[in-house]
Amino acid sequence: MTQSLKSLLLASVITSIACNDMTPRMPTVRVEKYQAQGDCFSTCGGGVLASEVDQALGQKCTTPAGACELAAGADRVRVTVDYGTVPFALTTAVAPPSLVLRMGESETTATAPWQSTRYAQEAAHSAVFFSTIVYVPPQQASTLQVIAKSGEGFTIASEAFSVSPPRVTLTLPSCMNSEPCSMMANVGSAQVQISAGAAFVPTQGRISSRLDGVERPETQPVELARVHNQLVGNASLFVPVPSLGQSGPVSIWEISATFGNLPPRTVAVRLTRPSLSVVVRNCPVGSGGGLPPPCSLKAGSSVVVDFVVPANFNEPQGTLTSSLDGIPTPLRVSGAFANSGFATATYSTTLSLPNQPGALFAVQGQAGPYIESSAPITLVP
């Protein structure tokens, strides 16, 4: 502490005694964590300030910050440096302190602007405090300590606060309420959101994926924008088709997000076989997952066939073929799927049944690698 500051403190002691005031306060630094939910600041650790300082700062949370663990690169803290009861002349411009953020063994000088506030004004003098808001640096460290160095000749430091490592977060909004996440293969898109702390300098992430352990060639850059104390970016990926789509086993689709030099984050999605059906009108349809009852139709008559797939199916059209007593026929017709309801799309067409009474007829529908068959139909005279 410099001789000039000692003289100022001695003067403040004499003034306090003369005014029957409390013992003068020494310079103090306080750290507060920003709580987005309440748009307020909670005090971390000690650092008791004068009531006038608290009143001038405002935005103080009514609940404590608890353990006050800080997230590197994401959390904001309000740093207040009170120069105590040092009486500064109202005509004197008081220089703000320099602010050093010590992350573990590494130190960074913060460049955020200070706000200067005078209080406890008497005659031609007043006390002074400075406040600023900074992000916890996006560094790998276990602790953060705030150090204020004043041009008046003193250095004060906060206690060391626990810091969690910086990380990138990957979420699939459609899977927020399901564990594990499950989707139908080849149906629609998966909406993906990447987020990271707002203190990071790079603003572009990247999405990649693996299907049953095999890296997929497509990668997608994602631009992130600041939302409160985070960088957030969104992307959309077409749900892929497993290589064994026809047999329909469950496949695992792993979606990964990378951002800067942070460890990647991965979400696993179970891909199940999409629900397809081939329905011959005027034939009963099975219910409750059971087989449909036997169906008999007049040989040589015309029937309407509906090939039904999930809405947003990634195959634009389907193909219908047929078999007679298990032997393929020359029939082959194709058409586009059209939305037929909230959850389905349908390709419908009219077919002529073979004029072979007593034969067993069936229609097969194929879309991409998936094949589905109608219930067998007995042709009657």
For residues 365-375, average pLDDT? 92
For residue 68, give the 3-state DSSP assignment: coil
User: What backbone torsions phi and psi does residue 316 show, to the nearest 5 degrees?
Assistant: -70, -25
Quick one: pLDDT band at residue 198, thresholds 50, 70, 90?
confident
* Residues 134 and 21 occupy one common structural domain: yes
Among 164, 190, 212, the domain boundary falls at 164
| Tens digits of residue pLDDT in 217-264 | 888 999 999 887 789 999 999 999 887 544 456 889 999 999 888 889
* Residues 229 and 112 occupy one common structural domain: no
Q: Is 36 exposed, middle or buried (0-12, 13-18, 19+ CB in 10 A)?
A: exposed
Q: CA–CA separation, 16 vs 88, rounded Å? A: 15
Q: Which of 120, 58, 41, 114 is nearest to 88 (CA)?
A: 120
* Residues 159 and 84 occupy one common structural domain: yes
Quick one: pLDDT band at residue 21, thresholds 50, 70, 90?
very low
Among 164, 198, 233, the domain boundary falls at 164
* Residues 10 and 158 occupy one common structural domain: yes
Q: What's the Cα-to-Cα distance from 363 to each of 170, 180, 275, 334, rounded to whole Å? A: 44, 36, 17, 13
Judge whether residue 360 has pLDDT over 90.
yes
| Tens digits of residue pLDDT in 144-169 | 999 999 876 788 899 899 998 888 88
User: What backbone torsions phi and psi does residue 196 show, to the nearest 5 degrees?
Assistant: -150, 170
Question: Strand order of the sheet with strand 189-197?
Answer: 169-171, 189-197, 230-238, 225-227
* Residues 264 and 150 occupy one common structural domain: no
* Residues 186 and 232 occupy one common structural domain: yes
| Tens digits of residue pLDDT in 50-90 | 788 888 898 888 766 556 788 888 888 999 998 877 677 87
Judge whether residue 1 has pLDDT over 70.
no
CB-CB contact of 337 with 319 (8 Å): no
Strand-pair partners of 328: 323
| Tens digits of residue pLDDT in 292-338 | 667 899 999 999 999 999 999 999 999 999 999 999 999 999 999 99
Determine the length of the chain: 381
* Residues 160 and 173 occupy one common structural domain: no
User: What backbone torsions phi and psi does residue 3 show, to the nearest 5 degrees?
Assistant: -65, -35
The total number of structural domains in the chain stands at 3
Helices (H), 205-292: none
Identity of the highest mean pLDDT range in 94-103, 177-186, 238-247, 314-323:
314-323
Write down the pLDDT at residue 177: 66
Q: Which of 301, 366, 354 is nearest to 323 (CA)?
A: 354
* Residues 268 and 316 occupy one common structural domain: no
* Residues 58 and 181 occupy one common structural domain: no
**Torsion on CA atoms 17, 18, 22, 27, rounded to nearest 10:** -80
Supply 118's token pair.
Answer: 């005078």
Give me the domain span that covers residue 86: 3-164
Supply 1's token pair.
Answer: 């502490």
Amino acid at 325: D
Quick one: pLDDT band at residue 188, thresholds 50, 70, 90?
very high
Q: Provide the 10 A C-beta neighbour count for residue 25.
A: 19
Q: What's the Cα-to-Cα distance from 334 to each of 2, 185, 315, 347, rounded to whole Å? A: 90, 22, 12, 8
Q: CA–CA separation, 239 vs 108, rounded Å? A: 44
Average confidence score pLDDT of the chain: 84
* Residues 13 and 160 occupy one common structural domain: yes
* Residues 284 and 361 occupy one common structural domain: yes
* Residues 245 and 303 occupy one common structural domain: no
CA 345-347-351 angle, to 5 degrees, is 155
User: What backbone torsions phi and psi does residue 369 show, to the nearest 5 degrees?
Assistant: -85, 0
Task: Give me the CATH number covering residue 183.
Answer: 2.60.40.10
CB-CB contact of 114 with 78 (8 Å): no
CB-CB contact of 157 with 146 (8 Å): yes
Among 124, 148, 164, the domain boundary falls at 164
